[in-house]
C-alpha cells in the first residue's frame, strides 16, 4: 500500500528540523539584522545579504542535518520502538492489514490501522460468541437426547429388580422396551460418531461408479413397509429404463437417500406420495426427493441442517430418530464437494435435492 506524504516515516522529522533550522537561522543572524541602520531598499538588500550569505546558509544546512539525524534517531529509539512492540503484542501477521515494515510516526495512520484491527477482532469475538451459544445448545441437546433413553432403560431395569421379573409378561414387555431404548441410544452414538469423523476429515470416502436408479429402487423396497403404514406411495417421476451412473461413495449416498426418503414418510401426509426424480440436464446429476406433507416454515429453514434440530419435536420423537439425520445428509454431501437444496411450502410439501458427479 502506497504511503501518503503524512504517512512517510520521515515527514515529522523533516518538518520539525526545517522549523528549528529556520528559527535558529534568524536567531543566529539577529544581531547583524538589528545593526542595519538604513531603511527601504537599503534595508532589504542588507537583510538579504545577511540571511542568504553562503556561510550562513551552509551553517543552517549543517544544523538541519544534525537536527534531522538526532530527532529521527530519538524517535526510532523511543516512539517507533514502542509502536513496534504494540504491533508485535497484537500479533500482526505478514498478511495482516498492517505491515510492520510500514510503521509510521503519523498518529492518524496508526489510529486508522488499529481501528481496522479492532473491527476485525470485534467480528472474531462475535463469531466466537455465536459458536459458544451453539456449543451450549448442542451440549444441552446431546444431554437431553441421551438422557431420554437412559432414563427409560433405568426405569425398566429398576422395576424388574423390584420384583417385576417374576411376571413373565412384564419381564418380556420391559425387556423389549429397554431394547428399543438401547437401540435408539446406539443410533444417536453412531450418528454422532459419523458426524465427528466427517468434520475431522478422518472419514475416507470410497468413491466408485454405480447405478443410482438401482440403489434407489433397493431403498424404496426396504422402506415400503414403513410407507404402507401411512398408505404413502413411493414412486419415480417416470420410468428410468436406462442406468444413470454417478461417481460417489455408494454407502454414504445410500445413507443420504434413506434419510431423505424416511423423513418424507415420517412427516408426509397419510395417503400421500413421495416422488424421486433425476435431472440429467446439467453438468451434474440432480437428485430430487419430493413429498406432499406438512412442509417447513420459513423461520425453520435456516436451522434445518443443525444437529438435533427438530421442526416438530413431538412427531420426531414418535419415530425414534436420533435427530441427526439431516445434519448427516448435509455433511455427507459437503464431503463430496456437492450441494444440497431445499424448497418447501407449509401445508403443500417439501423438495430436497442434491447434486452428484456423473460418470
- Block means of pLDDT (10 residues each) for the chain, 359 residues, are 54 86 85 79 82 85 90 74 65 49 54 75 84 74 78 88 84 88 82 77 86 95 90 92 93 93 87 93 93 85 77 53 78 92 90 93
- Residues of 57-74 as b/e, b for ≥16 C-beta within 10 angstroms? eebbeebbeebbeebbee
**What's residue 3's pLDDT?**
47
47 close to 33: Cβ distance less than 8 angstroms: yes
Secondary structure element (H or E) that encloses residue 291, with its range: strand 285-291
Q: DSSP label at 78? A: T
**What's residue 94's pLDDT?**
46
**What's residue 260's pLDDT?**
93
| Separation between Cα atoms, residue 52 and residue 55, nearest integer Å | 8
Contacts of 224 (CB under 8 A, 6+ apart): 234
Contacts of 41 (CB under 8 A, 6+ apart): none
347 is written with which cell numbers? Answer: 401445508
| Separation between Cα atoms, residue 262 and residue 321, nearest integer Å | 10
Domain-wise residue ranges, the chain: 11-105, 123-199, 207-356
Report the relative pairing of strands 273-279 and 233-236 from DSSP bridges: parallel
The CATH architecture to which 123-199 belongs is: Orthogonal Bundle (1.10)
| Separation between Cα atoms, residue 100 and residue 103, nearest integer Å | 5
Contacts of 316 (CB under 8 A, 6+ apart): 266, 310, 323
Calculate ∠ Cα 346-351-355, nearest 5°: 150
**What's residue 270's pLDDT?**
87
Contacts of 70 (CB under 8 A, 6+ apart): none
Report the relative pairing of strands 285-291 and 207-211 from DSSP bridges: unpaired
**What's residue 55's pLDDT?**
84
Chain position carrying cell 409378561: 169
**What's residue 100's pLDDT?**
46
Question: Model's pTM, two decimal places?
Answer: 0.57
Class of domain 207-356 (CATH, top level):
alpha beta
287 close to 351: Cβ distance less than 8 angstroms: no
140 is written with which cell numbers? Answer: 444441552
The Cβ-side half-sphere exposure at 294, using a 13 Å CA radius, reads 10
285: buried, middle or exposed (CB in 10 Å: 19+, 13-18, 0-12)? buried
The DSSP bridge partners found for residue 275 are 235, 290
269 close to 294: Cβ distance less than 8 angstroms: yes
274 close to 264: Cβ distance less than 8 angstroms: yes
Amino acid at each position: 500500500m502506497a504511503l501518503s506524504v503524512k504517512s512517510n516515516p520521515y515527514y515529522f522529522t523533516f518538518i520539525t528540523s526545517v522549523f528549528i533550522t529556520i528559527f535558529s537561522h534568524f536567531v543566529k543572524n539577529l544581531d547583524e539584522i538589528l545593526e542595519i541602520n538604513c531603511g527601504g531598499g537599503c534595508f532589504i538588500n542588507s537583510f538579504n545579504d545577511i540571511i542568504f550569505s553562503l556561510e550562513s546558509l551552509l551553517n543552517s544546512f549543517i544544523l538541519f542535518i544534525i537536527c534531522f539525524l538526532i530527532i529521527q534517531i530519538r524517535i526510532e529509539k523511543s516512539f517507533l520502538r514502542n509502536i513496534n512492540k504494540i504491533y508485535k503484542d497484537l500479533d500482526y501477521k505478514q498478511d495482516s492489514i498492517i505491515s510492520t515494515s510500514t510503521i509510521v510516526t503519523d498518529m492518524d495512520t496508526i489510529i486508522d490501522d488499529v481501528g481496522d484491527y479492532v473491527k476485525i477482532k470485534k467480528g472474531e469475538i462475535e463469531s466466537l460468541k455465536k459458536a459458544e451459544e451453539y456449543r451450549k445448545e448442542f451440549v444441552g441437546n446431546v444431554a437431553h437426547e441421551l438422557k431420554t433413553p437412559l432414563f427409560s432403560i433405568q426405569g425398566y431395569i429398576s422395576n424388574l429388580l423390584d420384583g417385576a421379573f417374576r411376571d413373565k409378561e412384564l419381564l418380556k414387555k420391559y425387556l423389549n422396551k429397554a431394547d428399543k431404548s438401547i437401540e435408539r441410544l446406539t443410533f444417536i452414538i453412531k450418528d454422532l460418531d459419523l458426524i465427528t469423523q466427517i468434520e475431522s476429515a478422518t472419514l475416507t470416502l470410497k468413491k466408485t461408479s454405480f447405478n443410482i436408479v438401482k440403489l434407489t429402487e433397493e431403498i424404496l423396497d426396504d422402506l415400503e413397509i414403513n410407507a404402507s403404514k401411512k398408505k404413502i406411495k413411493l414412486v419415480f417421476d417416470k420410468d428410468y429404463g436406462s442406468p444413470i451412473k454417478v461417481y460417489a461413495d455408494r454407502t454414504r449416498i445410500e445413507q443420504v437417500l434413506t434419510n431423505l426418503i424416511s423423513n418424507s414418510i415420517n412427516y408426509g401426509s397419510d395417503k400421500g406420495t413421495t416422488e424421486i426424480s433425476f435431472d440429467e440436464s446439467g453438468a451434474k446429476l440432480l437428485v430430487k426427493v419430493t413429498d406432499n406433507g406438512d412442509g417447513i416454515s420459513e423461520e425453520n429453514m435456516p436451522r434445518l441442517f443443525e444437529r438435533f434440530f427438530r421442526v416438530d419435536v413431538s412427531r420426531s420423537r414418535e419415530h425414534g430418530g436420533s435427530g441427526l439425520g439431516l445434519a448427516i445428509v448435509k455433511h455427507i454431501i459437503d464431503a463430496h464437494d456437492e450441494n444440497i437444496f431445499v424448497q418447501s411450502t407449509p401445508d403443500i410439501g417439501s423438495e430436497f435435492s442434491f447434486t452428484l458427479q456423473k460418470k
